[in-house]
C-alpha cells in the first residue's frame, strides 16, 4: 500500500508490494515525454486487445470527471483496481492532474479493510474519498458496519465495469451514499455517462454527443475520443434530445434459438430477479433449435435451479433448456465475469463428456 501526495511529490509506503510498484511505474510512464499510453481492453467479451490512447484525450477525460463530480485537489483518490485496466490507470491520472492524494490498494473483492489498515499504520484518517468499484467489490464492501463508516467519508463512489444486479442496487439505494453507476469503456477512456441508482437511464456528461447506429447500437463522440465517433455493441433506447439512454443489451449477446432471437441480458435479469442467484446465460449448439439457451449459476445449498422454478413467471422460450451449477466463475482482472473462460473451463468439459 502506498500514499502518493502529488502536490508534495512524496510517497509513503506501507507493506509495499508489486501492485504498488506497478502504480509508481505507471506514474513515471505518465510523466514521460511520450504522448500515448498503451492499455488493454477488459477481455470480458473476447480476447483482450491493446489500444494506444492519446494522453491529451486522457486529460480531457479527467476534466469531464472534474466537471461531473466536482473533484478537486483536496480529494483522496483510492485505486483498488488493476493498473492494467483503463479504470485503474485513470484513478492515478485524475489524482496526478489535480495534484491530489492517491492511495493504492491491491485489487481484491473487498478492498476496504486494507484502507482501514493503511489509515491505522499511517496514524491518520482521510476524508473526501473518490472510489471506483466493480459491482462485486461494492457488494463485499457494504458487508460490515466498519466498511460503511468509511464509505460515508466519500465524495463519490463510482460503480462500473459491469451492470449492477437488481438486488444489489436495491441494497445500495437504501444506504443513501453518493453512488453513481457509470457507463464507459476503454475506447472512451472510462465513463462518458452516469446514472443515479434510482434511475434506469444514463445521462451523458457535458460535451458528450450520442447517436444511434443503423443497428440501434450506441455511437459516442466525446472530448475523451477527440470527438471522433466510436460505435459500441450496446443496444440502447436513446431519448429525443440524445442526452439520455437506457441499455437494452449487447448486439453480440443475442442468440437465435428455433428462429426466435433472445437477448441474453434480458433473460439474465429475469432469472436473477426470480432466483436471487449470480448467473449468466449462453448458447450451445442444438440439432433441433440450432442454438439452445443455457444458464450457469453459482451453486448454493438453498436451491438447485431448473425450468420448473421459472414456469409461469417468464415467457417459456426465455427459460433456459439447461442449467449448469458451478462452484465459481472466472473473472477478468477488472472484476468482470469472464464468460468465455468460464464456459471453456467448466461448461465445455461437461458437454464434451455427454
Domain limits, the chain:
2-250, 254-352
Give the model's pLDDT for residue 165: 83
Give the model's pLDDT for residue 332: 81
Phi, psi of 91 (to 5 degrees): -65, -40
**177 and 151 in contact (C-beta within 8 Å)?**
yes
Give the model's pLDDT for residue 300: 82
Rounded-to-integer distance, Cα 340 and Cα 326, Å: 14
Give the model's pLDDT for residue 301: 74
Rounded-to-integer distance, Cα 118 and Cα 13, Å: 9
**Mean pLDDT over all residues of the chain?**
93
99 in the Ramachandran plot: left (φ > 0), alpha (ψ -120 to 50) or beta? left
Give the model's pLDDT for residue 161: 87
How many CB atoms are closer than 10 A to CB 38? 10
**61 and 224 in contact (C-beta within 8 Å)?**
yes
pTM score: 0.86
Strands 76-79 and 154-159: unpaired
- The 3-state DSSP class for residue 173 equals helix
Give the model's pLDDT for residue 163: 86
User: Which stretches of the chain score pLDDT less than 50?
Assistant: none
- The 3-state DSSP class for residue 277 equals coil
Instruction: Say which CATH superfamily domain 2-250 falls into.
Output: ANL, N-terminal domain (3.40.50.12780)
* CATH fold for the domain made of 254-352: GMP Synthetase; Chain A, domain 3 (3.30.300)
Amino acid at each position: 500500500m502506498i500514499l502518493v501526495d502529488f502536490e508534495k511529490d512524496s510517497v509513503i509506503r506501507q507493506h509495499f508490494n508489486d501492485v504498488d510498484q506497478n502504480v509508481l511505474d505507471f506514474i513515471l510512464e505518465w510523466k514521460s515525454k511520450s504522448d500515448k499510453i498503451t492499455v488493454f481492453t477488459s477481455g470480458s467479451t473476447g480476447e483482450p486487445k491493446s489500444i494506444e490512447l492519446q494522453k491529451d484525450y486522457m486529460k480531457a477525460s479527467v476534466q469531464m470527471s472534474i466537471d461531473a463530480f466536482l473533484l478537486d485537489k483536496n480529494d483522496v483518490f483510492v485505486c483498488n483496481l488493476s493498473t492494467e485496466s483503463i479504470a485503474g490507470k485513470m484513478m492515478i491520472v485524475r489524482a496526478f492532474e489535480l495534484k491530489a492524494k492517491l492511495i493504492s490498494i491491491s485489487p481484491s473483492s473487498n478492498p476496504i479493510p486494507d484502507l482501514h489498515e493503511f489509515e491505522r499504520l499511517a496514524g491518520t484518517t482521510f476524508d473526501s474519498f473518490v472510489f471506483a468499484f466493480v459491482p462485486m467489490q461494492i457488494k463485499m464492501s457494504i458487508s460490515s458496519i466498519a466498511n460503511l463508516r468509511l464509505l460515508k467519508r466519500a465524495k463519490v463512489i463510482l460503480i462500473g465495469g459491469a451492470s449492477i444486479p437488481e438486488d444489489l442496487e436495491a441494497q445500495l439505494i437504501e444506504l443513501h451514499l453518493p453512488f453513481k453507476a457509470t457507463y464507459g469503456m476503454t475506447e472512451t477512456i472510462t465513463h462518458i455517462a452516469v446514472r443515479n441508482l434510482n434511475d434506469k437511464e444514463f445521462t451523458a456528461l457535458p460535451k458528450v454527443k450520442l447517436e444511434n447506429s443503423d443497428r440501434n447500437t450506441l455511437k459516442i463522440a466525446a472530448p475523451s475520443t477527440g470527438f471522433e465517433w466510436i460505435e459500441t455493441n450496446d443496444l440502447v433506447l436513446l431519448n429525443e434530445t440524445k442526452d439520455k439512454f437506457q441499455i437494452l443489451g449487447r448486439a453480440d449477446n443475442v442468440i437465435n434459438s428455433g428462429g426466435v432471437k433472445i437477448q441474453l441480458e434480458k433473460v439474465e435479469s429475469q432469472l436473477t430477479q426470480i432466483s436471487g442467484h449470480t448467473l449468466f446465460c449462453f448458447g450451445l449448439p442444438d440439432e433441433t433449435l440450432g442454438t439452445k439457451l443455457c444458464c450457469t449459476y453459482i451453486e448454493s445449498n438453498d436451491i438447485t435451479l431448473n425450468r420448473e422454478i421459472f414456469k409461469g413467471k417468464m415467457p417459456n422460450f426465455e427459460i433456459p433448456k439447461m442449467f449448469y451449477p458451478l462452484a465459481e466463475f472466472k473473472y477478468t482482472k477488472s472484476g468482470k465475469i469472464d464468460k468465455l473462460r468460464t464456459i471453456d473451463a467448466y461448461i465445455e468439459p461437461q458437454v464434451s463428456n455427454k
